[in-house]
Structure 1
Amino acid sequence: MMKELQQGAETNIPVVDLGEIGVGGPEDPSEEDWRSVGEKLVKAFSEIGFVYLSNHGVPSNMVDEVNTQSGKFFELDETTKLRYKRGKTEVQGYTTPGQERLITEGDVRELRESYDVQHMDGMFPDEEVSGLRPSVKVLIEACKKLASRLLTAIAIGLDLDRSFFVSTHNQMCSDNNSSCLRLLYYPSVPTNVCEGATRCGAHTDYGTITLLFQDNLGGLEVRDREGTWMNANPILDTVLVNVGDLLQYWTADKLRATEHRVLIPKEEMLKKIPRRSVVFFVHPDNPVLVKPIDGSTSYDPVTVKMHIDKRFEDTYQY
């Protein structure tokens, strides 16, 4: 029997109102708006690495429709789903339970499935779920716009040229950039699974930033600077954003990629309810060389492609 994993404490992740910076706002918000948001993002990312964003502008019905359509896919039989299985470093496609293993030590079961979309002309289960591709397309476009605005604000908050990060993310969701929309499905927990199993093992994300649209069931936990696990419960109409490895490298640890995980809930009722979420992983273009912007030697220079492929090689099981 595995040891039970301790549930997290209450969170102190801040909420930042994007105001005019959100999707649907003016094309050219004022410098005051950019700097206000940028400084708040930098503060949050320096202290805990996570932030809730309100007034982000991505319509909730877009996310709901993607969850509805992806649910139809995840409910298909295993043989059908495996026809769309993704590769180790080829991002597009279905990931089975246990294929991506974030906890590499011990015998830990990670109970989740996912479908990654890197580009719109890639593999989709159009025959079985015709509504998935069009619903994903509109959400990806909204996420790309929101990501670009956040990258601009972060650069301004760091007193960099406002185009510093945006200029290195020109080809999001293409063959030359591993940014992707991940559709996550956490099935109901079998009765024979012990408490030590987990939905998703503790990890940091690989890229620049990550946008997470949670359902209302929760389960996500974030590890603070003192090593304490805290709940990152859903807040209505917000998106949760966190720092990835490459942004930490770029900023020489000023902005920190924070460990996070998803545990199986203790409540029997919640164990029986499937959990869904949508994640947009934002990566720079593959050839970009990432090195500390302060000129330090905190991290060796690394190309985005080399870093991402190494992380996939370490976590995907075949």
Structure 2
Amino acid sequence: MSEETSFQVPVVDVSAYGDPASTEQERLAVVRRLDEAARSVGFLQVVGHGIPDATWTGLGDAIDGFFGLPMEVKRRYVAPKGVNRGYTAPKSERLSLSLGVEKAERMNDFFEAFNVGVDAERYPALDLDRTAYAPNPWPEEVDGFEQRVSAWTAAADAVGHRLLAVFADALGLPAGWFERYTDHSLNVLRMNNYALPEGERVELDGDLIGMGEHTDFGIVTLLWADDVRGLQVLGADGGWHDVSPLPGALLINFGDLMSRWTNERWRSTLHRVKPPVVDGTIRRRRSAAFFLDGNHDAVIAALPGSVAEGEAPLYPPITVAEHIDAKLRGSRGLEVNTSGTEREAERVAAARS
């Protein structure tokens, strides 16, 4: 259920962190606003990010081109099991399983997706896991697909690293602190299409879900999305709230690893996507989530000063690989994740009640 209250996703202008002439006071204003959003909502809208309009629209064109292909062509790009690349057909995943939440009567999530990510060949001097850093299956049937998607991932990566500089300042860490954890980050771009035929009328029931309740797995997510209702965020009041981006704004949310790092000072907020139905009629909805997940071999443990004296951290240390693999076994492998998900599962249960 979506509750219409005063719930708001804060807007943060990060242009001061891209401008060498900005003042310390201007950067401090960004830090304060981001920290407040991270503590209270776990989502924010970022403006002043500097991504060119051509790159923005180019990604939309690439998404339309691929998902407009016939199903038999799209299925050629299904990756082998365990490889987080390529095409995912509708009703192939259940993201709620990544939280250890299972609801037997629920159909699998009604979206299709295409994933690309960082290839091991980008870091030839490192002995990287060739499954985690797998090559990308670029669809040749869509003109300019690789170039447009690559332009977006490069721009999103640059914004993500600018945000890491804000995070370090907000958490009282030395400048560049996060770089040692992200210098060969396991970044993935997931392009989504909510695969209901646009324009048809449909009766909603409890089993139809666009994308199930979940938290994001990594450090931070940068979301490109249509301004069509569907995305819902779980608020502190226990209700689900509709969220749509402002024109030209990136929706940003913090992932599980950032929440672990900060001992839950910053929230990894539960969210879901309902079918994009307006007044009973299906609307097209697309999104693309850029996941900045950190180095595969990085160990994530509570930050200095994040745990009160005499208390234990809420989570034990874990590598990025261990955490991401357990989550993907849930959502894509359809196995209930039992790896430290109790706190998230309790939040889902509370929202449902």
1:3 maps to: none
8 Å Cα contact 1:153/1:162 also seen in 2: no
- 1:69 Cα shift? 1.6
**Equivalent residues in 2 for 1:1-318, closer than 5 Å:** 6-10=1-5, 11-21=7-17, 25-26=18-19, 30-103=23-96, 104-109=102-107, 110-119=109-118, 122-172=135-185, 177=186, 179-189=187-197, 194-196=204-206, 197-268=208-279, 270-271=281-282, 273-293=283-303, 294=306, 296-317=312-333
Structure 1 stretch displaced more, 248-257 or 99-108: 99-108
8 Å Cα contact 2:77/2:139 also seen in 1: no
- 1:88 Cα shift? 4.3
CA distance in 2, matches of 1:9, 1:60: 32
- 1:188 Cα shift? 2.6
Q: Structure 2 vs 1, CA of residues 193 and 281 (structure 1 numbering), >3 Å: closer, same or farther?
A: farther
**SS of aligned partner of 1:37:** helix
Amino acid across the alignment from 1:65:
G
8 Å Cα contact 1:217/1:270 also seen in 2: no
CA distance in 2, matches of 1:62, 1:100: 29
CA distance in 1, matches of 2:117, 2:251: 21
**SS of aligned partner of 2:51:** coil
CA distance in 1, matches of 2:16, 2:172: 20
CA distance in 2, matches of 1:187, 1:28: 46
8 Å Cα contact 1:118/1:180 also seen in 2: yes
- 1:277 Cα shift? 1.1
Q: Structure 2 vs 1, CA of residues 288 and 28 (structure 1 numbering), >3 Å: closer, same or farther?
A: farther
- 1:8 Cα shift? 4.1
CA distance in 1, matches of 2:55, 2:72: 29
Structure 1 stretch displaced more, 196-205 or 295-304: 295-304
8 Å Cα contact 1:214/1:276 also seen in 2: yes
CA distance in 2, matches of 1:150, 1:36: 14
- 1:36 Cα shift? 2.4
Gaps spanning 5+ residues in structure 2: where? 97-101, 122-134, 335-353
- 1:169 Cα shift? 0.7
**SS of aligned partner of 1:116:** strand
CA distance in 2, matches of 1:89, 1:31: 46
Amino acid across the alignment from 2:330:
D
TM-score, normalised via structure 1 length:
0.88
Amino acid across the alignment from 2:136:
M
CA distance in 2, matches of 1:85, 1:77: 14
**SS of aligned partner of 2:55:** helix
Q: Structure 2 vs 1, CA of residues 128 and 27 (structure 1 numbering), >3 Å: closer, same or farther?
A: farther
**SS of aligned partner of 1:298:** coil
CA distance in 1, matches of 2:279, 2:110: 16
Gaps spanning 5+ residues in structure 1: where? 1-5
- 1:298 Cα shift? 1.5
Structure 1 stretch displaced more, 119-128 or 106-115: 119-128
CA distance in 2, matches of 1:59, 1:270: 33
Cα deviation code 1:112-155 (max 9, x no counterpart): 11111103673334421131100011111111110001011011
8 Å Cα contact 1:44/1:50 also seen in 2: yes
CA distance in 1, matches of 2:29, 2:281: 39
How many residue pairs align between the two structures?
304
% same residue: 29
Structure 1 stretch displaced more, 194-203 or 42-51: 194-203
Cα deviation code 1:271-308 (max 9, x no counterpart): 1x321111111111011100111354221100000100
**SS of aligned partner of 1:277:** strand
- 1:269 Cα shift? 6.1
Q: Structure 2 vs 1, CA of residues 105 and 150 (structure 1 numbering), >3 Å: closer, same or farther?
A: same
- 1:70 Cα shift? 1.9
**SS of aligned partner of 1:83:** helix
Structure 1 stretch displaced more, 131-140 or 70-79: 70-79
Amino acid across the alignment from 1:292:
A
Amino acid across the alignment from 1:114:
A
**SS of aligned partner of 1:198:** coil
Q: Structure 2 vs 1, CA of residues 300 and 30 (structure 1 numbering), >3 Å: closer, same or farther?
A: same
Amino acid across the alignment from 1:187:
A
Q: Structure 2 vs 1, CA of residues 292 and 116 (structure 1 numbering), >3 Å: closer, same or farther?
A: same
